Structure 1
Amino acid sequence: MIQIGEYTISRVEEVILDEATSLFPELGEETLAANRGWLSPNFYNEERGVFLTMVHSWILRSASHTIIIDTAGGDDKDRPLSPRFHRARTGFLERLKAAGIDPEAVDMVILTHLHSDHVGWNTRLAGERWVPTFPNAEHIASRAEVEARDPERGAASRPPASWNVYRDSIQPIIDAGLLRLVEGNEALLPGVSLFPVPGHAPGMMGVRVEADGKVAMFISDVMHQPLQVSYPDWNSRYCEDQDLARLTRAKILDQAAREGALLLPAHFGQPYAGYVRRDGDRYRFEPVETML
């Protein structure tokens, strides 16, 4: 765990996925070969020729608060457009409890954006109904993101199968009165605030924790792999607004390097977080020494 002021930072893993190198359309064999030395084995699997992608929740705990940042993919969800998450059974909830986190004691859930691998454990299946997994938690989401995913609004023109995420993982939270809509730049608690990181998703938000001269930035999917620290113009094929995603990434890298901020992305391999250092006119990724 890492300590920032009164908050401890930890993580609970849901699943490790193989990600094809086609994640980055610009990636060629020569560039991959030049970076294998530091990518393997934590970020790239040589034998299978794939990136390793983590799906997990970040946990912020203090004496008075238990906060979950993103809720992974979820179990039993109907995801025909995302076969890796379709009807999954991951054991995540048991690992969460084993980490000492009682779902009923969680008082805040921050949803950085509403892609399927970030909201799935908002709800769990109880009989034939989707019910809140964290029934006493305020769930925080971007107003722009919710509007973009709502089948009655921004998502109306998308395939009906894409509406499942909203219907099984967002709508039940709304119906339970647990969702708080934000603009994405609010202070939530002393030392904990939101900041906008759009591009990968329209209303995507980061979470900033600052205390005692230390800064941690949970940056969601601004980067999917640490290779993007060295090649910040590369977007993943999942980024919805490619130009805006590049602008956001450039801003975050510059800010992290200037502030010496700890970056905690959503999908990096172990040790899952690190720092951005300037290296001439480029950046390099420096993993943390503490395994999270």
Structure 2
Amino acid sequence: MTTHENVQRMVLGDVEVLRIVEWQGAFRPARELLPTAPAEVWRENEEWLAPDHWEPATDRTVMALQTWVLRSAGRTVLVDTGIGDGRERPGAPEYHHWQGDFLGRLERAGVRPEDVDVVVNTHLHADHVGWNTRAAEGGAGAGAGTGAGGRGGAGAEDAWVPAFPRAQYLLPAADDAYYGPDNAYGGGRSEDDRLLYEDSVAPVHRAGQMVLWDGVHRIDEHLTLESAPGHTPGSAVLRLASGGDRAVFVGDLLHSPVQILDPAHNSCFCLDPRQAERSRRRILERAADERELVVPAHFGGSGVAEVRREGAGGLALSVRR
């Protein structure tokens, strides 16, 4: 893997993979992010968890905001799109009115918005769909409301438009149903659920660029989406198989390598902890058996890990630096 200006590059079979890191640093305290992971697990593994995944001095996890760009079968595919600039996220102080340089980083890596053919949202959380859209020229932009009902109400058309004008957007149907207006934006769990749907999802529907899928969805001969629910109702993984190389982009199935050591540990963001654990075990065990490189959405360091079987059904890992 080669690195240049927050961009890392690797080649898997016939697929080029670029990692675009928007931000990396200390996030939430370890026991807040993974409530069931005891303090001794972090201390006993400090030698390799620090500094890429944990800060021992502050007991805070280290996370990355990043997008994976896959050049596959003649097309450019983005996996998740970060937070988005200028968004109203009052329930998430880390993301509220965020300002970054996401599109600039993409362009410096040779990816212009009009070059993107497919956008994959592994699930519908604020830090995975934000740059689905950008503020419309002359529109209301950040902080604009989109009304209620349908796919956004009066004034929505003036605020946000798809950031990638030629792209097909792939979103799990179960997440769209759960977080969309027909379910009152996540059943009224939080105002942020409504806001993120209205500024980052509804405009893509209105533009006719959204494709909802369920179960399994094949993108091309190398890339396949598969449901892995639990973190959200529609959480998905993206499998890459090209030549002899294998990888699985697991979204938020994992937030920390500690969850590979014991897949029973769910993050505080998992909506259905039991289902999330089942999905995590299934995907990790398959990765070990099929020698798939595991690529989570938020790992620091190199951003990837290798998993193998150990003992009586246990899992061990090697985190690349």
- Settle same-fold status: TM greater than 0.5: yes
Give the count of matched residue pairs.
289
**CA–CA distance in structure 1, aligned partners of residues 185 and 114 of structure 2:** 31
Counterpart position of 1:8: 16
SS of the residue corresponding to residue 219 of structure 2 reads strand
1:214 offset after TM fit, Å? 1.6
1:253 offset after TM fit, Å? 1.3
1:186 offset after TM fit, Å? 1.6
After superposition, the C-alpha distances for 1:73-115 in whole angstroms (9 at most, x for unaligned) are 1110110111111100011111111111101110100111110
Match 2:127 to one of 113, 117, 120: 117
Match 1:272 to one of 300, 303, 306: 303
Unaligned runs of 5+ in 1: none
One-letter amino acid matched to 1:46: P
For the 8 Å contact 1:59–1:68, the answer to whether it is kept is yes
**CA–CA distance in structure 2, aligned partners of residues 123 and 134 of structure 1:** 8
One-letter amino acid matched to 2:237: G
For the 8 Å contact 1:224–1:266, the answer to whether it is kept is yes
**CA–CA distance in structure 1, aligned partners of residues 242 and 193 of structure 2:** 40
For the 8 Å contact 1:264–1:274, the answer to whether it is kept is yes
Counterpart position of 1:288: 320
Moved over 4 A (4+): none
Pairing 1:20–2:29 present? yes
SS of the residue corresponding to residue 105 of structure 2 reads helix
Unaligned runs of 5+ in 2: 1-8, 141-158
For the 8 Å contact 1:185–1:195, the answer to whether it is kept is yes
One-letter amino acid matched to 2:85: D
1:156 offset after TM fit, Å? 5.9
One-letter amino acid matched to 1:9: V
Counterpart position of 1:165: 196
1:44 offset after TM fit, Å? 0.9
1:215 offset after TM fit, Å? 1.0
Matched residues, percent identical? 35
For the 8 Å contact 1:193–1:207, the answer to whether it is kept is yes
* More displaced stretch, 189-198 vs 275-284: 275-284
Counterpart position of 2:145: none
Relative distance call for 1:100 and 1:185 in structure 2 (3 A) is: same
**CA–CA distance in structure 1, aligned partners of residues 102 and 192 of structure 2:** 24
For the 8 Å contact 2:15–2:242, the answer to whether it is kept is no
Report the aligned-residue RMSD. Answer: 1.4
1:30 offset after TM fit, Å? 2.1
Match 1:56 to one of 50, 56, 66: 66
Instruction: Output aligned runs, 1:99-114, within 5 Å.
Output: 99-114=109-124
Counterpart position of 1:39: 49
